[in-house]
Amino acid sequence: MAWESGRIHFGGDYNPDQWPCAVWDEDRRLMGDAGVSLASVGIFSWAHLEPAAGRYEFGWLDEVLDGLASSGIGVDLATATASPPPWLTTAHPEALPTDREGRRRWPGARQAYCPSSTAWRESGLALVEQLATRYAGHSSLRMWHVGNEYGCHTSRCYCDVCAARFRVWLADRYTDIGGLNHAWGTAFWSQRYSAWDEVLPPRITPDGAWANPTQQLDYRRFASDLLLEEFVAERDVLRRLSPGVPITTNFMVMTRFNQLDYWAWAAEMDVVSTDYYPDFADPHTHIEAALCADMTRGLADGGPWLLMETSPSAVNWQPRNPARRPGALRRDALQQIAHGADGFNVFQIRASVAGAEKFHSGLIPHAGTDTRLWREVVELGAILGRLEEVAGSRVEASVAMVFDWQAWWGCELDSHPSVDVTYPDRARALHRALWESGIAVDIVAPGASLEGYSLVLVPTLYLVDDDVAPVLDSFVRGGGHLVVTYFSGIVDRNDHVRPGGYPGAFRDLLGVLVEEFTPLLEHESVHLDDGGSADVWTEDLRLAGAEAVSTYRDGPVAGKPAVTRHHVEDGVAWYIATRTDVDTTARVIARVVADAGVSPVAAAPPGVEVQRRRSGDTTWLFVLNHTDAEATIDATGTDIVTGSAVSASITVAPGGVAVVREGGDG
């Protein structure tokens, strides 16, 4: 179903069941003051909606939804299955998850369930039926919200029931036990299976003896599929009983979470939504925010998506939780919109006073409304209201970056050449180089069509299916520019090395042959002959058609190529064989970008982010000033944040924003 947001939504998780109903009137009044358009209701309300098996209490939710409807606030209604109630796990202890060591995890927090548990699934689906039947026609209903952050706390259960389902999943993938033995490479360490019932999840093994890597990888694939199956089961109840209402679940598209294969999940969504929490201690968190937003837009196939949760100010789950800087909320929210979001929502509307998250900020803070935060919230709501015309427009990019959760899982398996090679590292580095040059980038799945792109970046694609290299090959032959970074193309989908020299799948296209990896020690770094430097990784590389762009001046492979370039028919394939530092990466990418003829969205001073959204002939230029100085950008049109005409240029205050509808003479 194509989702049309119709507006730029503003709101967040709303948990009225944590409050006496006397507070609800004030909630609605304040939501009105803040321009809240969407409230996500009931995410953790199972125990409140069904206090005993089969005894449903919907009265309070009726009242909440009726009240929201009469205040014109739309509802993203949860299926409430995110955390099972105590009566369920008391009656069915087998519904609790089991960890790798065979220990059952106890209730008392949240998401303590085994996704294979029949009791959990049947009770959950019964609740969803009730909710869907009761609220399908409710005038407040805008969207269904299934579960919550699948895989956040329980991504894999290792119980016997899950083991049995794993075997079914494996039999489907490999047909017979011989297929499994081949895929898992069980000739190694006497692991050969004779029958399916010998096959187990990768439970804890003797110290220092790693579990079979393909077994681990398949368990991650299985676990992601298993949770997706549970999502789909709920979604299908909703589709049957509440047709036409779009359905979502909130992903965690962040470079510190990788429990689910979001390419597979995205295909099942009506609305792609994500949670994104900045790390205010990281001075580059705003670049990371841009990356995660681009990733989410990629999952939404370039269409509109929703930022479902972020913190209005501080979170509570870090050792030290800084507040969002004064004035930053507006800019950070508009950044998400600039990258294609049609909504900005937070966790949560009213800060809790009890429970584990009471020190997590809310739109309505503990201190009330005579506060800086609340004033910023009201200002933001007003601005988002003025951005309605942007809804449904799309971001355009001529650069694509390949990102893949399965490659991430593979890359970070144990017993690899260096623990310092982490999957998101080069994705972040390449993305940052583009961000700093004002270049827009789409995130695509491996093997996706590359039509329309002039430049494609492939960071650390360690694990790659056989059908990916041919797509990149024809992209380059057709005149495309490609950049691949080290530890890419190494293994196939079974995590078997592609022999004949690294980087396996991409060796011919890159015109290089790596004889041996020569990773660096901690604190070791190397210098390049063009003044660049690098750490973590080098490799003993020889040219096989490519030319050396730079070579090592020192280190284990002094004199050998570090960065190479291979002309293939009309295109060029670059290879970066080492972990170049920020400046060196920026220089390489600047050269590649110039060669590829890619231009920035608009000329902007360093630290000033520019993005453009388009709908037909109408374009909006977003300017986000992340610096402490005023910035002037060439633009003509109308700044829809302030309503003022812009002729020839616009000056944006430190930390400020502008959204210029371009055109006319200002």
Which partner in Zn ion, ligand GLA, none is near 228 (CB below 5 to 8 A by kind)? none
What is the C-alpha separation between 299 and 293, in angstroms, rounded?
A: 10
CB of 95 to Zn ion, least distance (A): 9
- Dihedral pair phi/psi, residue 513, rounded to 5°: -140, 120
Radius of gyration of the chain (CA): 26
> According to the binding rule CB under 5 A, does residue 460 interact with Zn ion?
no
Which of ligand GLA, Zn ion, none binds 595 (CB below 5-8 Å, type-dependent)? none
- Three-class SS of residue 462? coil
- With contact defined as beta carbons under 8 Å apart, do 49 and 127 qualify? yes
Active site residue 309: yes
Q: How far is the CB of 133 from ligand GLA (least distance, A)?
A: 26
Instruction: Choose, from 50, 288, 309, 662, the residue flagged as catalytic.
Output: 309
Based on the shown chain and the rule CB under 5 A, indicate whether residue 159 belongs to the binding site for Zn ion.
Answer: yes
The helix, strand and coil proportions of the chain, stated in percent and rounded to the nearest 5, come to: 35, 20, 45
226: contact with Zn ion by CB under 5 A? no
Which one, 124 or 340, has the nearer CB to Zn ion? 124
Q: From the list 49, 141, 162, 491, which residue makes contact with Zn ion (rule: CB under 5 A)? A: 162
CB 555 within 8 A of CB 579: no
Q: Give residues in contact with ligand GLA (CB under 6 A).
A: 148-149, 275, 277, 309, 311, 315, 347, 357, 360
Least Cα distance to 80 among 96, 57, 114 occurs for: 57
Active site residue 149: yes
For Zn ion, the closer of residues 107 and 519 by Cβ is 107
Rounded Cα gap, residues 349 and 11, in angstroms: 7
Report the DSSP pairing between strands 561-568 and 481-485: unpaired
116 binds, among Zn ion, ligand GLA, none (CB under 5 to 8 A by kind): Zn ion
Q: Which does 357 bind (CB under 5 to 8 A by kind): ligand GLA, Zn ion, none?
A: ligand GLA
Between 252 and 528, whose beta carbon lies closer to ligand GLA? 252
Q: How many chain residues bind Zn ion (CB under 5 A)?
A: 5
Distance of closest approach, residue 579 Cβ to ligand GLA, in angstroms: 31
Per-residue binding string, Zn ion, 105-144, x by CB under 5 A, is ---------x-x----------------------------
Give the interface segment with Zn ion, choosing from 149-157, 259-267, 280-288, 388-396 (CB under 5 A): 149-157
Instruction: Choose the one of Zn ion, ligand GLA, none that binds residue 148, judging by a C-beta under 5 to 8 angstroms depending on kind.
Output: ligand GLA
Contacting residues for 208 by C-beta, under 8 A, at least 6 apart = none
Q: Where does residue 209 rank: exposed (0-12), middle (13-18), buried (19+ CB within 10 A)?
A: exposed
Q: Specify the residue, 12 or 561, whose C-beta has the smaller distance to ligand GLA.
A: 12
Q: CB of 391 within 8 A of CB of 432?
A: no
Closer residue to ligand GLA in complex, CB, 47/544: 47
* DSSP letter string, 65-129: HHHHHHTT-EEEEE---SS--HHHHHH-GGGS-B-TTSPBPPSSSS----TT-HHHHHHHHHHHH
229 or 492, CB closer to Zn ion? 229
Which residue's CB is nearer to Zn ion, number 226 or number 624?
226
> Residue type at 557?
V
- Give least dist CB 159 to Zn ion, A: 3
Selected catalytic residue, list 50, 149, 376, 662:
149
The closest of 369, 389, 311 to 31, measured between CA atoms, is 369
**Binding interface with Zn ion (CB under 5 A):** 114, 116, 157, 159, 162
| Active-site amino acid positions | 149, 309
